Structures are given as C-alpha cells and as structure tokens.
C-alpha cells in the first residue's frame, strides 16, 4: 500500500494501547489521527466496531467525492506487517 495506490489517502485503523485509533493519510508516516474509541467498547461488540468503521468510511467516501467527483471504493485489507503497531 503506497502513495501511488492511494494518492488521496486511505483510512488506517490501529489498536494502540487501550484505544482503537483511526488515521487518514497516504501512508503511516504522514497520517493524521481522526478519532479513537476505547478497545473495551469494541472488542466484544461487533455492532459498535462496525459503526465506528462505517462513520469514518462514509466520511472518507464523501471527501473523495468532493475532491474528485468520483465515488470511492472501500475495501478492507489487513495492514502490511511493517505498518502494524500491535497493541503498542
């Protein structure tokens, strides 16, 4: 996953400590944190996890449409090993 693949950026969800954070950027080095939720709220609650992801996915789709006029496609991918933070 590179700048060439996602020139306008992508969402990156990361489990960091007690939080699940969402970032936006072309890669982790330029990512900006958009939000976070306590892991205890989403760990055993698939509905809460899906809602959190949907909120930011819809925001991302709207931003891409505003910028390009095209509808973004959303696909979930596991982060490459070198981008994973684990439960840092």
Quick check: is 4 in a domain? no
CA atoms lying within 13 Å on the CB side of residue 9: 24
Residue 14 forms part of a structural domain: yes
Q: Is the pLDDT of residue 40 over 60?
A: yes
Predicted confidence band of residue 18 (pLDDT cuts 50, 70, 90): very high
Q: Averaged over 10-26, what is the pLDDT?
A: 92
Residue 43 to residue 20: CA distance in whole angstroms: 9
3-state secondary structure of 63: helix
CB 71: neighbour CB atoms within 10 A? 10
pLDDT at 76 exceeding the cut of 70: no
- If one counts the domains in the chain, the total is 1
Q: Is residue 41 situated within a structural domain?
A: yes
Coil, strand or helix: which one is 55? helix
Residues of the domain holding 62: 10-81
pTM more than 0.85: no
Q: Is 2 within the bounds of a domain?
A: no
Instruction: Please determine, for residue 2, whether its predicted confidence score (pLDDT) is greater than 60.
Output: no
């Amino acid at each position: 996953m590179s700048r060439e693949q996602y020139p306008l950026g992508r969402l990156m969800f990361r489990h960091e400590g007690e939080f699940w954070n969402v970032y936006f950027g072309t890669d982790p080095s330029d990512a900006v944190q958009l939000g976070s939720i306590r892991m205890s709220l989403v760990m055993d609650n698939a509905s809460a996890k899906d809602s959190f992801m949907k909120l930011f996915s819809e925001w991302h789709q709207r931003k891409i449409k505003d910028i390009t006029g095209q509808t973004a496609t959303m696909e979930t991918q596991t982060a490459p090993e070198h981008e994973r933070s684990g439960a840092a």
